[in-house]
A and B are shown apart, each in its own frame.
Chain A
């Protein structure tokens, strides 16, 4: 076998092995998207209930809670980045990190000091490779998030928010995550978690409407105290679930194009290998014919 032919055969085999891996990952992701989407759907009633309750307190009472009022002078801002644990998901982690970097720039230009909280090994790797500091990180399980992690992140953030900026506390909390738009599109999204920005689900009462007489037990302040950590947790959990669904979708897409590329490579190399084999045979025939001719002339 000619050297050229052997090289082509090697390349074909290597492309075939790679394709087996990428195909398997594509199928795994495809089956997990369904489950991830179902989990997003299953957590929606909770998120809706919590959001409505928070909106009700915010709209129907006039409490002045530290978690809802903006500070005049914001010194430190926290940015939570939701990336993935593993790569091979196209631009999934890169795009969310890029979005976070833009936000960081923006906050810095406003004179705020930015503290990063990282979720997912990819974002941690990005920061440690650049020898940059971050406040805390959570790794493992980004593809199947559990509520306990969301609770942990929420507790950490709320306690940081309640501390003074001088003690290492923060005055603002932003989260950056990939929102699941469809199977082919996931867009990085920035949400300001605290101080409370958007109050959804409750229409602001009109000028002449009478406010429904809301009862709060024990009192609006205490209810808000109990409610806001829950609200933060549910928003974080929601972001984690959306991010997981996006991760699977991004991985499936990336792996599908990798498999397709492997197919194209295999096809091209097979053509070249066939070519090489054929020219080898042609050469051998012409050598034999030439040799026979030479022998016939010699006798």
Chain B
């Protein structure tokens, strides 16, 4: 079972795909999301969100002033200016 991850910014969908793990830093601290996580809605503190894709490749998204929501193994990272780094 994998997570469906969407990274969206105000004017476009930045990235979408399947992942095994998502790590983000919220205002409370670092949080790791694995499949089967409880529904969550959190405000992001630092911009970086790290996504480990199915197959092991990693991508990093910069989502300043955004938030992350998790529901039914669907992770949505939303920020007015989100972009992929590297």
Contacts and interface: CB of A to CB of B under 8 A. Distances in A.
Contacts of A223: 41-43, 67
A226 B80 CA distance: 12
A57 interface: yes
A134 interface: no
B53 interface: no
A214 B11 contact: no
B42 A46 contact: no
B10 A234 contact: yes
Interface residues of B, number: 24
A43 B39 contact: no
A206 B28 CA distance: 32
A43 B38 CA distance: 28
Interface stretch (A15-23, A48-56, A135-143, A250-258): A48-56
A126 interface: no
5 contacts: A53-B69, A60-B39, A214-B40, A216-B40, A230-B78
B42 A216 contact: yes
B54 interface: no
A124 B67 CA distance: 36
Interface of B: 6, 8-13, 26-28, 31, 38-43, 67, 69, 71, 76, 78, 80-81
Query: Main secondary structure on chain B at its contact with chain A?
Result: strand
Given A46-B8, A215-B38, A222 B43 contact: yes
A1 interface: no
Contacts of A46: 8-13, 78
B49 to A, nearest CB: 14
B42 to A, nearest CB: 4
Closest 8 CB pairs of A and B: A217-B42, A215-B40, A45-B8, A45-B13, A42-B12, A226-B43, A214-B39, A147-B10
Interface in A164-205: none
Contacts of A56: 39, 41, 69, 71
A50 B6 CA distance: 12
A233 interface: yes
Contacts of A237: 10
A49 B8 contact: yes
Contacts of B81: 147
Contacts of B39: 56, 60, 212-215
Query: How many residues of A sit at the interface, in one of the four size bands?
Result: 20 to 34
A295 B78 CA distance: 98
Contacts of B41: 53, 56-57, 214-217, 223
Given A43-B11, A217-B28, A223-B67, A49 B43 contact: no
Nearest to B72: A212
A222 B11 contact: no
A218 interface: yes
Nearest to B26: A217
Contact of A53 (B12, B31, B67): B67
A227 B12 CA distance: 19
Nearest to A39: B11
Which of B10, B38, B67, B69 has the most C-beta atoms of chain A within 10 angstroms of its own C-beta?
Answer: B10
